[in-house]
Amino acid sequence: MYWSARPFVRIFFFFAAGIFLFFKIDFFRDTSLFIFPVTIFILLFIAYLLLPKRLPFNWHWIKGVVLAIALMVTGVFVARLHYPLQEMSAQQVKGSFLGIVSNQPSETEKSLKVKVEVVKKLDSLSGKLPGYVLLYFEKDSVNKLHYGDVVLFSATLKTPDGPSNPEEFNYNWFLKARGVSLVGFVPRGSFRIVGNKPPNRLLAFAISLRQKILKALKNNGLSGDEYAVAAAIVLGYDDMMDDAIRQNYQRAGAMHVLCVSGLHVGVIYLVMMTLLQFLNKSKKGKIVKAILLLLSVWMYALLTGLAPSVMRATVMISFIIIGNEVERDKDAYNTLAMSAVFLLLYNPGFLFNVGFQLSYAAVLGIVTFYRPLVRLLYVKNLILRKAWEATAVSLAAQLGAFPVAAHYFHFFPTWFLLSNLIVMVFSTVIISTGMLFAAVSWIPVVSGGVAFVLSGLIYLMNYLIELVGHLPWSGVEDLWFPWFEVAFVYLAVLFAFVFLQKKEPKFIIPFLSTALLLVLFQVGHRYNVLTQHKIIVYNVGKKHSAIDFVNGNNHVLYCDSVLLKEPKGLEYATDNLRIKLGLKKNTKPLPANFSNGKLNLWVSHNIFVFNGMSVALIDDDSFVSGSKPLKVDWVIFSGSRKVDVDKLMQTISFKRVIIEPMGYHKGTEKLISRLSAKGVRVYNVEESGAFVYNF
């Protein structure tokens, strides 16, 4: 890579490093805001005025180091400006507030999920305003919230919960990267809309326009899956998508078509570029063409409600248009880095957004690998050549994005080439038809005809994607891909690519070394999986129980009947750890009497013996007395509110107690106090998270 021709690549790396440090290290959030611009000024003064005069030429690299530090401090400063209230330390704020709805509400089964900017407290509580909060409003047939509504509400706002189980999704961090400091539930009757004052008039217009087109789609006969997919593909509104459709597209490797992103903006760009080819005859014509292309992609972004994913893609395409059409910058890497820096200036939290990472990884893959791949095979036939070009684009995008996608989603679709060919053909026609519908939606008969064609196209695409998703060996599931392996995969791909391009033997050793390290990582992980012996008591919510008995790559998960009927909560708590430990999903009901020599587990009426460790699970208030106390190693309390400790110790002899969330905080505290007074070791799952015991 020629660094001198790509200054924004360097700027991006150091600027992004500063944003990363801001979110990861509390020191930068607690430091006075004034310190950062002063530090930046001093560093720039040293780099440009002091060092060139004092250092010999061979030591001028120090200037680069100082500038890199200045860029990192700038990243911290920009993030601090964007999230000025991240330093707030309050764990809970209760009272009445006045806030402004800052996004389009997202509808769930029982509530409306809304991001609200709190602008005023209406009681005597002291302290800072909580800034942006995420509120769940109980659905009300009278009050329907919209972007920009000024809301008067009463609620208890709490710090979002962090992960309470190993490898669980960090919801606290997810919201933190989006500037949300607190969350709360607002019951029906505890809020009132008192006005409308949109923070962004353009965004308000965009959301209103999208709602009108959604209504027009429904009025013209689209319903069910066709309506949900049309809303997602054409307008970026995916709230109505059901799990079955999502799963079909995910298994086929075509999930990206349901999230308005670079593909959709790219279609608009390619269609308009084809229509405007006649402007290529003169320099002025090219400038006019670039302006019209920019207007087209930004009009589409407006049509989709300026969703963050669309903003990312539109900004990226805009920089490419400016670079390619105006011929100011021919380097795609520098253009991509420039667009990324612009987006991070707009919102530093994008750095941790999965869509942001996947978008840039895929485009980087296309920029790097597309031309070498397409040159591997020359096809004379026009149709076959276009098919091969589409295949090369898909392969290049997968090479760029699959390590990041595997890290987040633990899945690799093996039929992605077939599904992407289907998507490329259909999405182009569907998006173009959708734009035509938006233009003619006010004309009754014409809009009905266009809507009929659109519905048919989506039905056919859904059918074909479902077929691909059900093909044999449709995907590799349960991939465990930590970040360090993602980095090594990218290194291995890069070394292999450079070797194939330049045919220089010096790149073979780095490639083989990286590949060998990857193999060693996988062998080490497999060894750990086969030799592990664990008992895991999960934190799955109040009055619920989930206990995993792990022996090698086999396990049995004991859980209560309510959790078995509501698998989403159970999967949220256990799936990532299960994948890391190399375990297959196993949530079948465990019978009252169970014996498995392979697992080395024996169960009899809430008494578990696993690898010589005995555990008694107590889920009610009654204990059966015998002539002698039953000797066990542990007692696990599940669901009990009041426990007679003296009677328990007469009935059961134990060394340790694990208390699952019981839904009765004071009762739990009293129980822990009484057990501790008896010299018993106590572990509170609700307070300390899941209990993991390694044999």
Confidence of residue 80 (pLDDT cuts 50, 70, 90): confident
Residue 87 has a pLDDT of 43
Tally the residues of the chain: 695
The set of residues, in sequence order, having a beta carbon less than 8 Å from that of 410 and lying 6+ positions away, is 477, 478, 479, 480, 481, 576, 579
Decide which of 106 and 613 is more confident.
613
User: 147: which DSSP letter?
Assistant: T
Residue type, 96: S
User: What sign for the dihedral angle of Cα 262, 264, 265, 270?
Assistant: positive
As beta bridge partners, residue 634 has 615, 656
Alpha-carbon Rg for the chain, nearest whole angstrom, is 29
Confidence of residue 297 (pLDDT cuts 50, 70, 90): confident
DSSP helix, strand, coil percent of the chain (3-state; round to 5): 55, 15, 25
Residue 516 has a pLDDT of 93
In Å, how far are 150, 274, 312, 453 from 198, measured between CA atoms? 9, 37, 22, 36
Confidence of residue 640 (pLDDT cuts 50, 70, 90): low
Residue 625 has a pLDDT of 56
Distance CA 496, CA 511 (A): 6
Distance CA 49, CA 58 (A): 17
Decide which of 300 and 89 is more confident.
300
Burial class (CB in 10 A: 0-12, 13-18, 19+), 245: buried
* Closest of 246, 216, 166 to residue 469, by C-alpha: 246
* SS3 state of residue 645: helix
Encode pLDDT of 36-79 as tens digits: 888 888 888 887 776 666 666 666 677 788 888 999 999 999 99
* Closest of 474, 459, 393, 401 to residue 426, by C-alpha: 459
* Closest of 287, 231, 297, 278 to residue 434, by C-alpha: 231
Distance CA 531, CA 538 (A): 21
Confidence of residue 328 (pLDDT cuts 50, 70, 90): low
* Token duo for residue 403: 């390590």
Confidence of residue 605 (pLDDT cuts 50, 70, 90): confident
Decide which of 49 and 607 is more confident.
607
Distance CA 463, CA 279 (A): 40
Confidence of residue 691 (pLDDT cuts 50, 70, 90): very high
The set of residues, in sequence order, having a beta carbon less than 8 Å from that of 433 and lying 6+ positions away, is 450, 453, 454, 457
Measure the N-to-C terminal CA separation of the chain; round to a whole number of Å.
50
Q: Is the pLDDT of residue 506 over 90?
A: no
As beta bridge partners, residue 182 has 133
Indicate the average pLDDT of the chain.
Answer: 83
pTM of the model: 0.84
For residues 668 and 643, the answer to whether their CB atoms sit within 8 Å is no
Confidence of residue 89 (pLDDT cuts 50, 70, 90): very low
Where do the H-state alpha helices sit in 91-220?
A: 171-176, 201-219
Distance CA 490, CA 426 (A): 31
Q: Is the pLDDT of residue 444 over 50?
A: yes
For residues 137 and 191, the answer to whether their CB atoms sit within 8 Å is yes
The share of the chain scoring above pLDDT 90, in percent, equals 14
For residues 390 and 416, the answer to whether their CB atoms sit within 8 Å is no
Torsion of CA 512, 517, 523, 525, to 10 degrees: -150
Residue 262 has a pLDDT of 67
Encode pLDDT of 357-414 as tens digits: 888 888 888 888 888 888 888 888 888 888 888 888 888 888 888 899 889 888 888 8
